[in-house]
Amino acid sequence: MALELDCDVLIVGGGPAGSAAALRITQLGHSVCLLERRAFPRSHVGEALSGGVSAQLEFLGAAQVLDRVSALRFDHAEVNWRGDGFAHRPMDPRGFSVDRAQFDQLLLEAAQQAGARVIQPATARAAERDNSVWQISAEAEETSLSIRSKFVIDASGRTGFLPRQRRETSPKTLALYGYWRGTGLPETPRVEAGRRQWYWGSPIPGRGFNAIAFVDRDFRNADGATLRHHYHRLIEVSQLLSGATSVRLDDRVLCCDATRFEDRQCCGAGFIKVGEAAFAIDPLSSSGVQAAIQSALAGSVAVHTMLLNPDSAAVAQRFYVRHVEDAASQHATWATLHYAEHVRYAAEAFWRRRAAGARATAARENGTIRHAWRSDDCVVLSSDASVEDVPAIVGDFVVLRPAVSHPALSRPVAFVGGLDLPAFLDRMPPVCTISELEQALASVLPTDGVPAVMNWLLDRGLLEGSSAPRNR
């Protein structure tokens, strides 16, 4: 049996990134067809959802997903990172752990209810583009699909559907994991540093306790031990399950790639990649789902812009490339600094490779200007500051808008704490006092937001001290 379909956007992959993109692009008025190669529900690792996921789902009008999914919330985690025993660390109260099989199915159903056409199980086989139209061949059970689409979104995760140009940005890493049952299992998440590995574990609704060991991807066993035996050895030398009795592994030991990477061609004419088809962050952050959904939201606006405003396609692509670069860089910086906090086994190659460059990274992150300002001190706009047009989201489109560049900024900045930075700096007098600066900010910002924005401007050197007289 053969079936022909037409749509504005074809999405390959029904995980959080693909479902979020399908939902958002449908809301923006485009016809969407989504192919998912596996029947849901299907199990998936990555059950820790960081606090920002709630806000993302509310923005998508899919808050009901969180109302229906089985979730566990924790006020703290037990962390043994420096080798001095487990200590309580507060957790974001908005975060939670879920059964990903249930969560992913509910999010995909939300996209379907919004109007996206979902076909699963269905496997995309090939895609060719001619005269700005994609022709995609796919298979769905006993049906051959021929799909015409204006745009293709690759949301197929690390597997990837479109050609890849990936650059690994961390040591090659594997995650070995399994789900445990028993009495006395930890009731909160645990994080632990080992000699040549680190561990993460957490209770998962309906699945017991997921214990993960992160190891070098090229590990070798001189005695030829199986993956299951190697995993058991790792768990035995850890304290991840300490306090538990009569524990047993609920099922088989699983393994997946956990190496950080970026795809150097995350978008182009008629296509875009979202989620882990575009980049993968370090599992240490436990925010992979949030990063995936955010890339889908940014990518959806870029796609919407390219479809309705073809003359702005290059601007939309620049915007999305910058989004991927910034997200990957910010997460990599955080991970590097956090790996460098480990002390006990810091001399081991496992830790040295992951903390490489931490000193330079810390210096760059902390390289702000500190000064004890008085209310009558005068400041001027730095001569190193300049304004340039950069791609940014305005409403539902990507457009060029002014942003401020400065050597202390990793990228041009348009808004700080809700402040339209170029417009504010343009209105500033040539010279003003700290007191006058504070008053000017208070006229356009909520009172409680003024100190942070003022400190940001001064600490990064966008505003500099001056001995020049003020114009009264």
* pLDDT digits 0-9 by tens, 366-396: 555 567 899 999 999 999 999 999 999 999 9
The residue from 313, 339, 365 where one domain ends is 339
Residue 173 is encoded by which pair of tokens? 């890493």
Does 414 share its domain with 294?
A: no
| Domain assignment present for 427 | yes
Does 436 share its domain with 308?
A: no
Q: How far is CA 172 from CA 130, 216, 222, 261, 341, in A?
A: 37, 6, 20, 10, 20
| Domain assignment present for 256 | no
Cβ pair 162, 19 in contact under 8 A: no
| Domain assignment present for 282 | yes
Per the structure, the complete domain to which residue 430 belongs is given by 378-466
Cβ pair 406, 425 in contact under 8 A: no
> At which residue do the structure tokens 């890493």 appear?
173
The residue from 285, 320, 339 where one domain ends is 339
Does 54 share its domain with 106?
A: yes
Strand order in the sheet with 378-381: 432-433, 378-381, 463-466
Does 37 share its domain with 144?
A: yes
Does 64 share its domain with 145?
A: yes
Does 436 share its domain with 293?
A: no
Does 302 share its domain with 404?
A: no
Cβ pair 399, 315 in contact under 8 A: yes
Does 13 share its domain with 148?
A: yes
Does 154 share its domain with 291?
A: yes
Does 49 share its domain with 156?
A: yes
- The candidate with the shortest Cα–Cα distance to 34, out of 133, 151, 129, is 151
What is the tally of structural domains in the chain?
2
Does 318 share its domain with 386?
A: no
Does 326 share its domain with 399?
A: no
| Domain assignment present for 270 | yes
DSSP characters over 273-326 = E-GGGTEE--GGGS-HHHHHHHHHHHHHHHHHHHHH-GGGHHHHHHHHHHHHHH
Residue 99 is encoded by which pair of tokens? 């059964």
Q: Mean pLDDT by 10-residue block, N- to C-terminus, for the chain (472 residues)? A: 94 98 98 97 94 96 95 96 91 93 98 98 96 95 94 97 96 97 96 97 96 89 78 95 92 95 96 98 95 98 98 97 94 94 94 87 57 90 95 94 92 91 94 95 93 92 80 48
Cβ pair 302, 273 in contact under 8 A: no
| Domain assignment present for 296 | yes
